[in-house]
Amino acid sequence: MKFSTFQEMTIELDPNEQTRRSLYGSFFRILSATHDFEIGASSEDLITGFAGLGLASERDPLTGSLPTFSELHFLETQGIANTIKIIVGEGQVFDDRVVFGGTNVPVEVKNFGDRLANVFSPGAPKVVPAGGSVALSVSNADRRRAIYKNIGASEVALSTSGSYVGHFLAPGETFETTCTGALNAVSSGTAGLVSVLEEKVV
């Protein structure tokens, strides 16, 4: 039996630094980051990277092969030094550690009885105005997962800002994340439509 393999590392980026690291794998997951940055695998386009984001290759349904990348491209875009902790590997790895960053972090302790179940919370599709943006999800520590699908006819960008940058979602494509931060959809000039499904703890 061949087990999945992975490595965990820390990437230090100076303000506005751009670097490529020779890293082999079929997935990566960002454990933490000082702030948002840009990341891309091999020759793929750069997308907005943030703590909690993870991307993995999909196995070819015909051949069973798993596409891999040989390097990751990092770009610091906010003019501030960034410390990124990331896992890169091949196969599938589960990491359920809870990590608290900083000092004097207030932690609220609750009994298991306070957290009864995970529920799905679907909402009405979000209309992305032409040349504008719309909030898809607000910051919510109780959110465990969010699934966004472009059900419109034009491409939109999933971004933490109101600019047309980030992860580009073509019509019919779906994006899933465990990030609990806020996320917006931005159009390039044509109105769009995005469905949102959130899994929350109650």
Q: Are both 85 and 146 inside the same structural domain?
A: no
Last residue of a domain, one of 48, 72, 90: 90
Q: Is residue 41 scored above 70 in pLDDT? A: yes
Q: Which of 34-43, 57-66, 160-169 has the lowest mean pLDDT?
A: 57-66
Per the structure, how many domains does the chain have?
2
59 shares its domain with 130: no
58 & 121 share domain: no
pLDDT tens-digit series, residues 79-119 = 999 999 998 888 665 555 544 444 455 555 544 444 445 66
Residue 11 included in any domain: yes
Within this chain, do residues 50 and 125 fall inside the same structural domain, yes or no? no
Over residues 17-28, the pLDDT tens digits come to 999 999 888 888
Tell me: do 53 and 16 sit in the same domain.
yes
Residue 99 lies in a domain: no
Mean pLDDT, residues 117-145 taken together: 84
| Any domain includes 101 | no
168: pLDDT strictly greater than 70: yes
Mean pLDDT estimate for the chain: 82
In a domain, residue 137? The reply is yes
What local confidence, expressed as pLDDT, does residue 3 receive? 45
Is 122 in the same domain as 189?
A: yes
State the CATH number of the domain containing residue 197.
2.60.120.770
pLDDT for res 94? 52
Q: If pLDDT is split at 50, 70 and 90, which confidence band does 56 have?
A: confident
User: Is residue 108 one of the residues assigned to a domain?
Assistant: no
Domain encompassing residue 194: 116-201
Over residues 154-171, the mean pLDDT reads: 91
Whether residues 135 and 196 share a domain: the answer is yes
Structural domain contains residue 163 = yes
Selection from 121, 124, 131, 120 nearest residue 156 by Cα: 131
**Domain of 29: which CATH number?**
2.60.120.10
Are 140 and 178 found together in one domain? yes
Residue 143 and residue 85 in one domain: no
pLDDT for the residue numbered 93? 55
Predicted structure pTM score: 0.45
